[in-house]
């Protein structure tokens, strides 16, 4: 018998069905070992020696494989067919070396799809672990470690609040930050277009756009004002119009290539709003169930048998007209032939999405993959595009109408790719129009436009841009985009990625002090070097040595930097964005409150940044870092705006502080240094705020009346956790902010009673959102609702559910690695096991009782950490 090792239990279960009882199929649950997260795991002084450590949760999986090898003579490593899969096989082979000494056979097999045919063929063609692919993995892992563990401490010391830096994540963050700065620097430009609703002699209407005015062809900005637009309207109105030419041209559209990793992530984001991580997790489940081919690939070629199967299915479903004369061949774009896997496609072309018995998110993604694959082998769409020019006899005016007619839909019958913008070809159908015919003017409309700033990145457009620049590789995109969000450097709002202040500061810091390492070309070149290593064309230690020589020198140069130096530099770089020119021509950096102070960049303990006056604490003026530009720029001119006065004649002003907009009653004085203030609730637009709303905020808490049972006051207000009603020491949340100003006693008593019914303290025990099943080590795994979002619970381990993963869609296979990662970071497994293990040792009751007491005394008295503190301080 042979032991076959794959990554996941789901994959093991599927493969076991194909191999039968002659094989023992076990799961490694991903990587079994990694570099310990501490200094010295990669040693540049000793030929980049790498120290590996078996993860605590992997030891039981290694033991299961070792036990199986005691009776089985062959180990078959069947991990995924990419660098990462090759690395897992290498780690397994190294870790199991002691169990493999007695002449046991070791081989490596790969398959692009988990089907019986693919698995059987792979087993018939084993090979050895690919050294070049492993070395490419070792180089990538060492590079990421050296950057992370040497650059992150510099950030912690020089830029308070920064969390980490990474070789690729920092470059990705730079893309988002620079796009935001482009948006902030953007100034809209006005322009006008003129369209006319015309009618043919047969009474059919169509629309045409003005293209020639005064005998001159119009450019985009030629009609720049309303006055110019009105003159253009008069010019059209005063002239007769006739059709000058009608030109119809045949056109065609070819289908898109099948999916690779990046294009699948982009399309899933466009059509379903699915993040890169969620997309890959869903695709992983489809792959492990045998429904699609391997989902981490930069190849777009398709196996000949798959092409034939797709053409047969097209003919069966849609007819011979939809099958092109010859199969479509898509050239593989992979730079490295060793990683040029097949495209992402269904393993069975006849398995339509409606026949698939899977969860809804998997069905949606499979539907996308199936349609794209089938469409990629279909005939082109054919259409007729018509252009009609209408002009005046004196040739001073000309308008153009365009449209198209679909002659044959071809691949569009099945699938059309989504777009990242609103621009597209004109698909309007034009009526019958003959050259020389007069047209009647029904309506002429001028329309004002403004140029738009570049759009913020979505996960789809970010992945597309990274792919264009050669940054990262298919298997890394999802983790990179997730990491910068988890670090708090970027937030996602309405599917758009917006840099937080901390992310902006980190980018400016790295761009100024480590510029080479966040350059797009440098990062892309390093990726090319890693590809060369995997192709066997470059020595990986030479690549590491060259990188480390320059990188360590750059780290050393920052040793004398002070935090004030860093902030001054960032302040200087960001000045055009955070201190925009003022309408009155005054100095943008002068304090608008005290008039004598200067504005400068400051950091908060939380890691955020804000603009403050250097006359602090005499002047307490602050505003957010991002106020002057972008969407946040709407608040830039509102700071200090007087909304009106209250009944006593005290002014009520709108202010923009470091934590957002708020209203203030009166001004700070020596007698009242802190005048009444109230923050604007979420969803309240500062530019639309009026006096009555401001006064309502300032009047909180609002008394509702005496409670009918005890006569104690019941009041409503807005607190740190949102709107609430209060009775004595009982606080009960309400969902709608507006209800704070309208809620009556009956409703308040009802809300308070509901809170009381949930019990004292934090309320009644929460009920699971989903039961996932038993953990391999025992104990139920559940998805639970939490105050800060849903989480996965197993024993005493609570692991937050990653963004993009819906509570109802989580599977046991997805939950296990999430729990393992949490346990590795400090979550504690069940204590019952440790207790159970301790019982056999306690054979004599007196000895068992004595030992803990003896051990307890020195533990309580000894404080070794106190002596260690000076050393740690000296090292820092």
Q: Kindly list the catalytic residues.
A: 294
Number of C-beta neighbours around residue 49 at 10 A: 12
| Three-state SS sequence of 317-360 | HHCHHHCCCCCCCCCCCCCCHHHCCCCECECCCCCCHHHCCCCH
Distances 601 to 104, 121, 598, 623, 656 between C-alpha atoms, Å: 65, 63, 10, 10, 16
Query: What is 25-59 written as a DSSP string?
Result: EEE--S-SEE--SSTTSEEGGGTTEE--EE-GGGH
* 3-class SS of residue 772: strand
Residue 271 burial (10 A CB sphere; 0-12, 13-18, 19+): middle
Q: Which two tokens stand for residue 145?
A: 């470690």
| Calpha distance 79→90 (Å, rounded) | 10
Sign of the torsion formed by the C-alpha atoms of 686, 688, 692 and 697: negative
Q: Which two tokens stand for residue 827?
A: 């979550």
Number of C-beta neighbours around residue 485 at 10 A: 20
821-825 CB contacts, 8 Å cutoff, 24+ apart? 822/797, 822/798, 823/56, 823/57, 823/797, 824/55, 824/56, 824/57
635-639 CB contacts, 8 Å cutoff, 24+ apart? 635/661, 635/686, 635/687, 636/580, 638/686, 638/687, 639/592
| Calpha distance 403→384 (Å, rounded) | 9
Number of C-beta neighbours around residue 175 at 10 A: 22
CA 432 to chain centre: 49
Spatial CB neighbours of 245, under 8 Å, sequence gap ≥ 6: 387, 388, 389, 435
| Calpha distance 312→373 (Å, rounded) | 13
Q: Which two tokens stand for residue 739?
A: 């209800």
| Calpha distance 701→710 (Å, rounded) | 20
User: Cα-atom radius of gyration of the chain, to the nearest Å?
Assistant: 33
Q: Check: CB of residue 3 under 8 Å from CB of residue 72.
A: yes
Residue 679 burial (10 A CB sphere; 0-12, 13-18, 19+): middle
* 3-class SS of residue 70: coil
| Calpha distance 589→578 (Å, rounded) | 9
Q: Check: CB of residue 257 under 8 Å from CB of residue 415.
A: no
Owner of token pair 């530009």: 629
Strands 2-6 and 791-794 turn out to be: unpaired
Q: Which two tokens stand for residue 79?
A: 């991990």
Length of the chain: 876
């Amino acid at each position: 018998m042979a032991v076959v090792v794959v990554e996941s239990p789901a994959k093991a279960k599927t493969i076991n069905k194909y191999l039968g009882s002659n094989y023992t199929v076990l799961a490694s649950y991903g990587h079994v070992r990694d570099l310990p997260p501490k200094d010295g795991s990669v040693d540049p002084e000793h030929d980049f020696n790498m120290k590996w450590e078996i993860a605590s949760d992997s030891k039981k999986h290694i033991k299961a494989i070792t036990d199986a090898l005691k009776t089985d003579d062959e180990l078959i490593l069947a991990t995924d067919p990419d660098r990462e899969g090759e690395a897992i096989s290498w780690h397994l082979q190294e870790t199991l070396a002691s169990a493999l000494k007695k002449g046991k056979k070791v081989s490596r097999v790969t398959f692009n799809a988990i089907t019986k045919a693919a698995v059987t063929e792979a087993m018939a063609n084993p090979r050895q672990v690919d050294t070049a692919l492993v070395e490419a993995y070792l180089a990538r892992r060492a590079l990421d470690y050296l950057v992370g563990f040497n650059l992150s401490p510099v950030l912690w010391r020089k830029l308070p609040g920064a969390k980490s830096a990474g070789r690729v994540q920092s470059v990705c963050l730079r893309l988002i930050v620079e796009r935001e700065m482009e948006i902030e620097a953007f100034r809209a430009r006005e322009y006008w277009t003129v369209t006319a609703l015309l009618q043919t002699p047969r009474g059919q209407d169509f629309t045409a756009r003005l293209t020639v005015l005064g005998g001159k062809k119009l450019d985009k900005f030629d009609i720049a004002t309303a006055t110019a637009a009105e003159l253009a309207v008069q010019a059209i109105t005063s002239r007769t119009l006739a059709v000058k030419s009608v030109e119809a041209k045949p056109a065609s559209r070819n289908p898109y290539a099948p999916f690779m990793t990046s294009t699948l992530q982009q399309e899933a984001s466009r059509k379903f709003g699915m993040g890169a991580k969620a997309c890959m997790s869903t695709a992983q489940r489809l792959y492990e169930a045998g429904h699609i081919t391997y989902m981490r690939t930069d190849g777009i070629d398709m196996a000949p048998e798959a092409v034939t199967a797709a053409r047969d299915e097209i003919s069966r479903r849609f007819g011979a007209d939809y099958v092109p004369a010859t199969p479509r061949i898509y050239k593989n774009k992979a730079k490295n032939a060793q990683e040029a896997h097949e495209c992402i496609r269904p393993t069975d072309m006849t398995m339509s999405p409606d026949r698939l018995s899977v969860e809804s998110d998997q069905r949606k993604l499979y539907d996308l993959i199936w349609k794209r694959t089938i469409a990629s082998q279909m005939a082109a769409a054919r259409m007729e595009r018509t252009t009609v020019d209408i002009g005046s006899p004196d040739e001073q005016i000309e308008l153009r109408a365009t449209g198209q007619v679909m002659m044959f839909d071809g691949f569009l019958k099945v699938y059309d790719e989504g777009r990242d913008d609103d621009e597209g070809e004109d698909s309007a159908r034009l009526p019958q129009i003959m050259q020389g015919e007069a047209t009647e003017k029904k309506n002429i409309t001028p329309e004002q436009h403004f140029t738009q700033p570049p759009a913020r990145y979505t996960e789809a457009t970010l992945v597309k841009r990274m792919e264009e620049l050669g940054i990262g590789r298919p298997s890394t995109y999802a983790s990179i985009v997730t990491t910068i969000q988890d670090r708090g450097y970027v937030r996602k709002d309405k599917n758009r990625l917006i840099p937080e202040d901390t992310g902006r500061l980190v980018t400016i810091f790295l761009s100024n002090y480590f510029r080479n390492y966040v350059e797009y070309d440098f990062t892309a070149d390093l990726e090319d070097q890693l590809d060369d290593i995997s192709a066997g064309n470059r020595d990986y230690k030479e690549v590491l040595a060259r990188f480390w020589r320059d990188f360590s020198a750059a780290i050393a140069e920052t040793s004398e930097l002070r935090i004030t130096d860093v902030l001054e530099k960032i302040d200087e770089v960001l000045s055009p964005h955070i201190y925009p020119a003022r309408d009155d021509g005054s100095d943008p950096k002068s304090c608008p409150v005290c008039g004598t102070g200067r504005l400068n960049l400051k950091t908060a303990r939380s890691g955020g940044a804000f603009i403050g006056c250097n006359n602090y604490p005499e002047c307490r003026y602050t505003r957010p870092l991002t106020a002057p530009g972008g969407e946040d720029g709407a608040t830039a001119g509102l700071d200090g705006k007087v909304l009106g006065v209250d009944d006593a004649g005290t002014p009520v002003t709108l202010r923009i502080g470091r934590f957002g907009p708020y209203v203030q009653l009166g001004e700070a004085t020596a007698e009242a240094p802190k005048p009444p203030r109230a923050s604007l609730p979420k969803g309240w637009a500062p530019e639309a705020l009026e006096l009555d709303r401001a006064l309502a905020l300032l009047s909180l808490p609002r008394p509702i009346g005496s409670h009918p049972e005890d006569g104690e006051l019941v009041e409503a207000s807005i607190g740190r956790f949102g709107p609430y009603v209060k009775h004595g020491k009982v606080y009960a949340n309400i969902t709608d902010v507006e209800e704070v100003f309208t809620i009556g006693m009956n409703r308040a008593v009802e809300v308070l009673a509901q809170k009381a019914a949930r019990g004292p303290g934090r309320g009644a025990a929460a009920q699971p959102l989903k039961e996932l099943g038993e953990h391999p080590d025992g104990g139920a795994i559940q998805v639970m609702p939490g105050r800060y979002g849903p989480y996965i619970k197993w024993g005493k381990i609570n692991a937050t559910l990653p963004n993009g993963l819906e509570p109802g869609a989580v599977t046991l296979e997805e939950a296990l690695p999430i729990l393992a990662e949490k346990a590795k970071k400090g979550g504690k497994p069940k204590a019952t096991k440790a207790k159970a293990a301790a019982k056999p040792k306690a054979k004599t009751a007196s000895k068992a009782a004595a030992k803990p007491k003896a051990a307890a005394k020195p533990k309580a008295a000894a404080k070794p950490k106190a002596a260690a503190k000076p050393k740690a301080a000296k090292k820092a």
